[in-house]
Chains A and B, each alone.
Chain A
Amino acid sequence: MAETSTTLKHYFVSSAQQFDAAKMGMWLFLVTEVLLFSGMFVAYAVYRVWYPEVFELSSELLDWRLGALNTLVLLASSFTVALSVHFIQRNEKEKVVVLLLLTLLCALAFMVVKYFEYTGKWSHGIFPGAGFAPHGDYAAYYTPYAPQFFSIYFVMTGIHGIHVLVGMGVIAWIVTRAIRGHFSAAYYTPIELTGLYWHLVDIIWIFLFPLLYLI
């Protein structure tokens, strides 16, 4: 009954059971991520309901073109990850490596854009919290509660950015394992789980983009 495989842990009966358990564990972990971010969304909603004009005015300072670009970049990376799962299920291992590398590239592009956005803000004196002192063209945006908007902006995108960085680390590790031939149609749990995580990072950005840049 028990399948013999090097990846099967002794306390599991079958590798199907092991895979199911790992996947459910990952989904539970994703749910904790959702609730972690929910705190920030609540903060956003509370202040937006109190000061809608301030939020609309302040969001003009965020460049929607860069936001949209980053949205497309992340969507593309989600697509490549989904494809990599598809191909490992078909045992086409070379394609998986390529696709994962493409994902990594997209993630990098995302972080580069974020870097330029952040430094652009800082050069105009837009910092989270006490350092908030917009000057030059941005001085007109120094309204009460604008600091709250930008604090929330930096915290949300900052924590999201940390998740992107962590994801990059994990994907890089998965790539090296894929190159070493650790995965096959019979065993690809790490790719599947990393993919799930990466899609969640994408979903969170799908909400951050309109909330911060558009409306």
Chain B
Amino acid sequence: MSTAGQNYLSASTGVRSWLLTTDHKRIGILYAIAVATFFLLGGIFALLVRTELAAPGETIMGQDAYNQAFTLHGVVMVFLVIIPAIPGILGNFVLPIQIGAKDVAFPRLNLFSWYIFMLGALMALSGWLVIGQVDTGWTFYTPYSAEGTSSVLWLTSAVFIAGFASIFTGLNFIVTVHKMRAPGMAWNRLPLFVWAIYATAIVQVLATPVIGITMVLLFLERLLQIGIFDPALGGDPVLFQHFFWFYSHPAVYIMILPAMGIISDLMGTFSRQQVSGYTFIALSSVAIAFLGFLVWGHHMFVAGQSALSSIIFSMLTFLIGIPTGIKVFNWVATMYKGSVSLKTPMLYALMFLFLFTIGGLTGIMVGVLAVDVHLHDTYFIVAHFHYVMMGGALIGLIGGLHYWWPKITGRMYSETAGRIAAVLVFVGFNLTFFTQFVMGSRGMPRRYHDYAGLLDQYPEFAAYNLASSVGSFVLAAGLFMILAYAVHSLVRGKKAPANPWGAVTLEWTHTGPIPDPHNFEKVPLVTRGPYDFHLADDVLGAAASASSESQDNT
């Protein structure tokens, strides 16, 4: 069929054409809208939490409201934002095009996943509005979660349902990568983003069912008192933590692996050279996916698990450092002697490199059994996982969104505004969370609504907390600025060329400025690797390479 003059945005119009679409690109946008909304919501709760902690004593809310606020912040950010974000938005939009497919293997399942996700999300939020608030924290630990308000039931059902969306997305991507690659798209020609999403999908498929059964058992514990997790009935609360972390540690790799994939693509494109150690980066994603299943007990060092198993888990945790290190070193090596251009996406890639390295190294620190006994449940942990989840996963997402924005919307955004916002985000983020490392290592406990009682002994907590709260507002300002210029770009942005960055993966070289409904007019025949810039003159053309060089003077 000829689709001349048609692109996936203009091919059909109206709300129905969006809500019933099976086009992976449109589904990606559906995810983007949903996730952005939830991110705003989760962010508001974060600001509430930080405002309460800005000064000692009650600032804006009491202890119960505080507990509910951080619970909702955690649940929304983890289950409704970071886990679905990159696979849902960019995985959907980019992955099929990058491998030269017309769509994912199961387009209807893909749309179905989005609806399940929305059902879970709306259940979680409506439960909070209608049934009552949950204050267990995002971890739902027993025995507390087996008592307390009945809205725990509702929320765990929501998590159970949202889990299926994640499973189906992962399943879809695995099959797509295996079965839908274009002719010539050998495994060693897959862009590293594809490898990362593929590894992520393995984790989604293998780990998510366990959070499903965990939520079912917790549900039954509440409903029938089956006595598996509740110590008052002879159950074992630590067993719940095993169930929970068997999923939730691998889940942190569901969050970070896709971001690592984005960074690999960005490093290649904006250094204009072959990504160093391609095979190692690709396989380290898979290695991380598998090793990630062996370390969950590092969340339970002080929970009463057997000392022997703490030692085993601690040692296994160190292994994760190997594939992670491989990636970091190769990214650095990719920039070496490349012609690095500091466009906004690349700024985020560099930011990722810096922040994630801090997050990962502190991860190894708290993986040391003896160290973690002191740091567990302090702000040090909060800082660690924000450096990886926000500094890593979310910064990666933001970088990726900037990178693919022209392809998704057909418009450019203001480079200047982008850079200013990046600086704001960087400063705000570090002010917020670096202070938390310091106060955490000095004993500031997490999940406390107030620290007035600690000030006699630790007067410095007041200053650190205030700085952290100020930082969170700077960070928020940076994020809102991104929102503002994104909207501006949609309305007023310059029309984007087909390949503004001079990248050589298929989504840039084989589609128009805005892709066709079926991606390609004819299925591409792949003859080179994803970062073979020297072989790609045919598709790049002199103009593209010239324009990207002329802006290199930053």
Residues of A within 8 A of B (CB): 10-13, 17, 20-21, 24-25, 28-29, 31-33, 35-40, 42-43, 46-47, 127-131, 144-145, 147-148, 151-152, 155, 159
Choose the segment among B149-157, B167-175, B379-387 that binds chain A (4+ C-beta atoms closer than 8 Å): B167-175
Contact of B243 among A39, A148, A155 (CB under 8 A): A39
Taken together as a complex, chains A and B put the C-alpha atoms of A173 and B227 apart, in Å, by 38
Known: A25-B106, A43-B239. 7 other contacts (CB 8 A): A11-B102, A20-B179, A21-B106, A21-B178, A24-B175, A33-B209, A148-B226
Roughly how many angstroms separate A82 CA and B101 CA in the complex, as a whole number?
A: 34
Measured between alpha carbons, how far is A32 from B216 in the docked complex, in Å?
A: 15
A38 to chain B, nearest CB (A): 7
Q: Which residue of B lies closest to A33 (CB)?
A: B209
Min CB–CB distance B518 → chain A (angstroms): 7
Q: B14 an interface residue at 8 Å Cβ cutoff?
A: no
CB contact under 8 A between A148 and B235, given known A25-B106, A128-B226: yes
Task: Name which of A131, A148, A152 has the most chain B CB atoms within 10 A of its CB.
Answer: A148
Query: How far is B205's CA from A24's CA once the two chains are assembled, in angstroms?
Result: 13
A150, closest chain B residue (CB): B226
Is B420 an interface residue, CB under 8 A from the partner?
A: no
Selected A-B contacts with CB under 8 Å, 16 pairs: A11-B101, A11-B107, A13-B523, A21-B105, A25-B106, A29-B171, A32-B171, A32-B206, A35-B209, A42-B242, A130-B224, A130-B233, A144-B234, A147-B227, A151-B220, A151-B227
Which residues in B have their C-beta under 8 angstroms from that of A159? Answer: 216
Question: For residue A154, which residue of chain B has the nearest CB?
Answer: B226
Residue on B with the closest CB to A13?
Answer: B523
CB atoms of B234 and A39 under 8 A apart: no
Shortest CB-to-CB span from B163 to chain A, Å, is 10
Q: Which residues of A contact B344 (CB under 8 A)?
A: none
B residues with CB within 8 A of A: 101-103, 105-107, 109, 167, 171-172, 174-175, 178-180, 205-210, 212-214, 216-217, 220, 223-228, 233-236, 239, 242-243, 518, 523
Name the A residues within 8 Å of B227 (CB-CB): 129, 147-148, 151
Residue in chain B with minimal CB distance to A43: B228
Tell me the bound Cα distance from A31 to B175 in angstroms: 14
Closest to B202 in A: A28
Contact status B220-A28, CB under 8 Å: no
Which of B107, B109, B225, B518 interacts with A129 by CB under 8 Å? Answer: B225
- The answer to whether A28 and B205 have CB atoms under 8 Å apart is yes
Identify which of B101, B179, B242 gathers the most chain A CB atoms within 10 Å of its CB: B179
**Chain A residues within an 8 Å CB radius of B207:** 35
Q: Which of A12, A28, A40, A152 gathers most chain B CB within 10 Å?
A: A28
Query: Are A32 and B209 closer than 8 Å at their CB atoms?
Result: yes
**CB distance A128 to B179 under 8 Å?**
no
Give Cα A11–Cα B523 distance, bound, in whole angstroms: 10
In the complex the two chains form, what is the Cα distance from A46 to B212 in whole Å? Answer: 19
Residue of A nearest to B213 (CB): A39
A36 & B210 in contact (Cβ 8 Å cutoff): yes
A17 to B102 CA separation, bound complex (whole angstroms):
13
> Are the C-beta atoms of A11 and B103 separated by less than 8 Å?
yes
Q: Kindly provide the distance from the CB of B241 to the nearest chain A CB, expressed in whole angstroms.
A: 13
Identify the closest chain B residue to A148 (Cβ). B227
Q: Is the CB of A151 within 8 A of B209?
A: no
Q: In whole angstroms, how far apart are the Cα atoms of A202 and B213 in the complex?
A: 20
Which 9 A-B pairs have CB atoms at the shortest separation, nearest pair first? A129-B224, A39-B213, A151-B226, A130-B225, A35-B209, A11-B102, A11-B103, A36-B209, A21-B179
Cross-chain contact B210 with A38 (CB below 8 angstroms): yes
Give CA–CA (A46, B180) in the complex, Å: 42
| B220 close to A155 (CB less than 8 A) | yes
- A168 CA to B243 CA, complexed, in Å: 30
Compute how far the CA of A6 lies from the CA of B109 in the bound complex, rounded to whole angstroms: 20
Quick check: A151 and B228 within 8 Å, CB to CB? yes
Query: B103 contacts which chain A residues (CB < 8 A)?
Result: 11
Q: Is the CB of A39 within 8 A of B214?
A: yes
- If A25-B175, A155-B226 touch, whether A128 touches B220 (CB-CB below 8 Å) is yes
Question: A28-B205, A144-B234, A155-B217 are contacts. A131–B239 as well, Cβ < 8 Å?
Answer: no
- Chain A residues near B242 (CB, 8 Å)? 42
Residue from A38, A144, A151, A159 with most neighbouring chain B CB atoms (10 Å): A151
Complex contacts, B239 vs chain A, CB 8 Å: 43, 46
CB distance from B220 to the nearest CB of A (A): 6
Compute how far the CA of A145 lies from the CA of B226 in the bound complex, rounded to whole angstroms.
11
Q: With A11-B103, A25-B105, A28-B175 as given contacts, are A128 and B213 in contact (CB-CB < 8 Å)?
A: no
Q: How distant is B95 from chain A, measured CB to nearest CB, in Å?
A: 14
- Cα–Cα, bound, A148→B236 (Å): 11
Contacts of A47 in B (CB 8 A): 228
Residue of A nearest to B208 (CB): A32
Contacts of A130 in B (CB 8 A): 224-225, 233
Q: How far is B1's CA from A10's CA once the two chains are assembled, in angstroms?
A: 11
CA distance A166 to B447 in the complex (A): 43
Decide if A28 touches B226 in the complex (CB within 8 Å). no
Which residues of B have CB within 8 Å of A145?
Answer: 234
Task: List the A residue with the shortest CB-CB distance to B101.
Answer: A11
- Asked whether, in the complex, the Cβ of A40 is within 8 Å of the Cβ of B106, the reply is no
Q: Is the CB of A36 within 8 A of B236?
A: no
CA distance in complex: A129, B226 (Å): 4
B217/A148 in contact, CB under 8 A: no
CA distance A29 to B180 in the complex (A): 18
The complex places the Cα of A130 from the Cα of B227 at a distance, in Å, of 8
Return B432 CB to nearest CB of chain A, in Å. Answer: 37
Find B210's partner among A11, A28, A35, A155 (CB 8 Å cutoff).
A35
Do B217 and A39 have beta carbons less than 8 Å apart?
yes
Q: Which residues of B contact A37 (CB under 8 A)?
A: 213
Say yes or no: A32 contacts B167, CB within 8 Å. Answer: yes
Contact B205 A32 (CB under 8 A): yes
**B518 with A17: CB separation less than 8 A:** no
A10 vs B520: C-alpha distance in the bound complex, in angstroms? 13
Q: Give the nearest-CB partner of A129 in chain B.
A: B224
Contacts of A12 in B (CB 8 A): 180
CA distance A47 to B208 in the complex (A): 23
- Closest CB-CB distance, A155 to chain B, in whole Å? 6
Contact A46 B208 (CB under 8 A): no
Q: State the Cβ distance, A124 to closest chain B Cβ, in Å.
A: 17
Q: Whose C-beta in chain A lies nearest to the C-beta of B229?
A: A43
Q: Max chain A CB contacts within 10 Å: which of B102, B109, B171, B239?
A: B171
